[in-house]
Amino acid sequence: MAGGIGSRFWPLSRVSKPKQFLDILGTGQSLLKTTFDRFAKIVPPENIYIVTGSKYVDLVKRQIPAIKSHQIVAEPLRRNTAPCIAYIANKINALDPEAQLVVAPSDHLILNEADFAVEIQKGLNYAAQGNYLLTLGIRPSRPDTGYGYIQYLEQKEVSKGIYKVKTFTEKPNLGLAKQFLDSGDFLWNSGIFIWSVSSIISAFEKHLPEVQDAFKEGKTVYNTPLEKEFIEELYPSCKNISIDYGVMEKADNVFVIPSNFGWSDLGTWTSLWDNHNKDADQNALSDDNIMPFDSKNNVIIAPKDKLVVVQGLDDYCIIDTGEILLICRKEDEQKIKEINLEVKSKKGKRFL
């Protein structure tokens, strides 16, 4: 899934080039390319499909030259993760009703890719055995309010390392997040899912029938030249809802694999700070031209040719794109989405 605009990573992530297309960690390639390469070690590259906005199709082609055009699935509008998944599930079902599907965001960090591959294969093996919806859960290290949480039943281990899910909770407040952490039976929701195509279509039929009915109408046109016109007509009226709210919170056949392979959704500046190289004062800096004095625990991003001097700041996000400068306390970074909306209302779309 590569259709998001990464608004929490504004102003570095912009509508014209969202964070999945950026080299956020300074590795020399975008998060999207890194994700593609990671999955190309697990499944044949020709079996990897990238679902993205129609405006980003050319960007995907430039960043992943090896990918074939039919593997880039274009959404004409953003309609959240449930329609995105319903689309690709029905499209693949038309090719192979026996297929299994791994759904993953394109902008996550995985530090231990070997362990990740083991967990994915474990999930695929279990999903092949029946009508199961699996997700990878991450053991939480802090009471983070930016993640959804999964409560699992440790006494209900259905297979080695796979447990029955009790509840999904979408982005709790801080007090509730602390309770979840203390309880020990909650995991972060990674947003990485594993299921057979038939299982997820069955779940849509049960929990989001209006979405499935709409995409089912395209059964005869998927993977033909008529698909584009069908999707462009369908999407404007399609329900805008996440897979978590629409399916996972309602289904009773959900299972989780508790995982620890060095995961971050890189969804906030703090998560970037957590995973970035830091100086002696715990500042995460994008370039040698950034000079902090009496400053610590900051994330400071600036153009390579710009000298930036920061004095006396602790625990801030300082993001300079050349056109936009954001200075925000890290503890308040969840407000960046609100700031983004305020910028849009007062300054128009130029700075988005």
pLDDT tens, position by position, 269-318 = 888 898 888 999 999 999 889 999 999 999 999 998 899 999 999 999 99
- Conformation bin of residue 282: beta by default, left when phi > 0, alpha when psi is -120 to 50: left
pLDDT tier for residue 154 given thresholds of 50, 70 and 90? confident
Strands 316-320 and 325-329: antiparallel
Take residue 172 and report the two structure tokens written for it. 């709790």
Take residue 134 and report the two structure tokens written for it. 């699996």
Question: Which run of H or of E encompasses 17?
Answer: none
The separation between the first and the last C-alpha atoms of the chain, rounded to the nearest angstrom, is 21
pTM of the model: 0.91
Q: What is the pLDDT of residues 215-256, one digit of tens each?
A: 999 999 999 999 999 999 999 999 999 999 999 999 999 999
E-strand spans in the chain?
50-53, 72-75, 100-103, 109-110, 133-138, 149-159, 162-169, 186-196, 254-259, 263-264, 284-285, 290-293, 299-301, 308-311, 316-320, 325-329
Domains along the chain with CATH numbers = 7-267 (3.90.550.10), 276-347 (no CATH)
**Backbone dihedral angles phi then psi of residue 122, each to the nearest 5 degrees:** -60, -45
81-95 vs 209-216: helix crossing angle, rounded to 10: 40
**Dist CA 26 CA 19 (whole Å):** 13
Question: Which run of H or of E encompasses 128?
Answer: none
Are the C-beta atoms of 296 and 314 separated by less than 8 Å? Answer: yes
Please give the pLDDT value at position 171: 80
- What sign for the dihedral angle of Cα 202, 207, 209, 212? negative
Average pLDDT estimate for 33-50? 96
Are the C-beta atoms of 45 and 66 separated by less than 8 Å? Answer: yes
